Amino acid sequence: MNSPVHRFYQNWQQSDCNIAHATPGNPSGCQMDLFAWVEATIGAGSNGKSRPANFTDETTNEGATALGFYNVNSGDMPYFTELARHYTISDNYHQPVMGGTGANSIMIGTADALYYTDSKGDPATPPQDEIENPRPQPGTNNWYAQDGYSGGTYSNCSDRKQPGVSAIRQYLDSLPYHPDPNCAPSTYYLLNNYNPGYNGDGTVNTSTFTIPPSPVRTIGDTLLERNISWKYYGEGWKTFVTTPATSVYCNICNPFLYETAIMTSPPLVAAHLQDTTNLYSDIANGTLPAVSFVKPGGLLDGHPSSSKFDLYEGFVRKIIDSVQANPALWASTAIFITTDEGGGYYDSGYIQPLDFFGDGPRIPLIVVSPYSRGGRVVHDYSDHVSLVKFIEHNWSLEPITSRSRDNLPNPVQLSSNPYVPTNAPAIGDLFGAFQFPSVKLAVPGKRNEGAAGMFPF
């Protein structure tokens, strides 16, 4: 593994994608060979002088970490190893966006990228110093002219003349399946981490390093329209609402905290955005909603430098043990365990470019369910939007919008090369991780059945 440089253009740079390097096993030509070089030249420090006060992730200038790996044979990650050996893991699951926590967490809710808006919620042009410019500064090797929290974090990827855009667009054009960049005209998309447009109490967030309130639909809207129960449980929510400066809550991790339609409705916020204390009560009482999103706080999420993975293992174990202690709940529950993104850590797995924003490198996914036993490894290509597709498949829901990634087909893959979809761009719905009987996992809209728990960093 390598230390974090997980911001958008740096992540593309680390991946070193070029169609000239394509092979049958790696048709995107992403060599994944510049992680150490980018870390050495950037030093995790070209994000400027300051950062959002609440952040405990990749925004700090933490320096470098030597290349290394987790060795489960010598006892690393014992609980996740136990789960992998008894249930199902994916070795072809990916972060959906090149870059860090915010943009990747947003995709879990929207299956799309967010963009800068005006006071009416329409696309607008951000201040010049918030527009990303990945050209090296004079006198430096690889420090970007405008990058990170003191500067750029948006790009208008519809305009090839914008800094950094042309190289990615040319690469996408060179791929044989010509993926749609999915860049609306004159729209500046959020590429890195900015605070959501709302505070926990529903007021508009007017602090610096904040994206304006978003009109983009989420899977929450779809579930509400179909009367399917759901909640986002985030550790530290109660203190985040009252005293955010002291909370461990990860605001950039909650995709619903960005959205105007949800955050301007106090009843919706009260019903659907809750703390992990509510999660434990709902498990004990057998009142989990049909769909649950769960996020540990900054001290337990396993993030490099601010947490440890054994603390994240403990957080997950408490939830799984609690669910399994309720036989009726365990019989109809699927738990998806993953991370928000790769943390900048090196990975050699195949990347399938879906659009301008990603996919990014592989990340872990463990699926724990009565229907995922057996220590199986599945190879279907998937990313965070696959969680959305699982929900939609299970409850027969339409895609969130006409442009969201959940419109992409499930992958068709050859047994001789199961990692690469032959119908690219394509992402799976994770149903291959299960061996179901002849009935669905859940009954639409019925509580206590088919609870889908998701555990991103």
Q: Take residue 270 and report the two structure tokens written for it.
A: 């009260």
Contact indicator for 336, 288 with CB cutoff of 8 Å: no
Q: CB under 8 Å to 78, separation ≥6 — which residues?
A: 72, 313
Residue 161, Cβ density class (10 Å: 0-12 exposed, 13-18 middle, ≥19 buried)? exposed
What is the reported pLDDT for 7?
A: 87
- Compute, in degrees rounded to 10, the torsion defined by CA atoms 180, 33, 410, 433: -160
Predicted confidence (pLDDT) per residue in 320-343, tens digit: 999 999 999 999 999 999 999 887
Predicted confidence (pLDDT) per residue in 340-389, tens digit: 988 767 788 999 999 999 999 999 999 999 999 999 999 999 999 999 99
- Residue 216 pLDDT more than 90? yes
Long-range contacts from 303-309, C-beta under 8 angstroms, 24+ separation: 303/56, 303/57, 303/343, 303/457, 304/3, 304/4, 304/62, 304/65, 304/343, 305/60, 305/62, 306/56, 306/57, 309/70, 309/77, 309/80
Task: Kindly write down the DSSP assignment for every residue of 139-160, as one continuous string.
Answer: T-SS-EEE-GGGS--EE-TT-T
Q: What is the rounded average pLDDT of the residues 309-329?
A: 94
Contact indicator for 320, 337 with CB cutoff of 8 Å: no
User: Is the peptide bond between 147 and the residue preceding it cis, with omega within 30 degrees of 0?
Assistant: no
pTM: 0.91
- Residue 445 pLDDT more than 70? no
Please state, in angstroms and rounded to a whole number, the distance separating the CA atoms of residues 217 and 198. Answer: 15
- Residue 56 pLDDT more than 60? no
Lowest mean pLDDT among 235-249, 259-273, 331-345, 355-369: 331-345
Predicted confidence (pLDDT) per residue in 121-176, tens digit: 999 999 998 999 998 888 888 888 888 655 569 999 999 999 999 999 999 999 99
Predicted confidence (pLDDT) per residue in 1-33, tens digit: 445 577 899 999 999 999 999 999 999 999 999
- Compute, in degrees rounded to 10, the torsion defined by CA atoms 435, 84, 295, 381: -60
Predicted confidence (pLDDT) per residue in 171-192, tens digit: 999 999 999 999 999 999 999 9
Nearest C-alpha neighbor of 39 from the set 69, 55, 61 = 61
Please state, in angstroms and rounded to a whole number, the distance separating the CA atoms of residues 156 and 38. Answer: 24
What is the reported pLDDT for 50?
A: 38
Report the percent of the chain where pLDDT is more than 70: 88
Please state, in angstroms and rounded to a whole number, the distance separating the CA atoms of residues 12 and 168. Answer: 8
What is the reported pLDDT for 6?
A: 78
SS3 324: helix
Strands 417-421 and 413-414: antiparallel
Among all chains, which residue has been given the structure tokens 């969130």? 400
What is the reported pLDDT for 138?
A: 86
Task: Kindly write down the DSSP assignment for every residue of 415-444, as one continuous string.
Answer: TTEEEEETTSS----SGGG----SS-SS-T
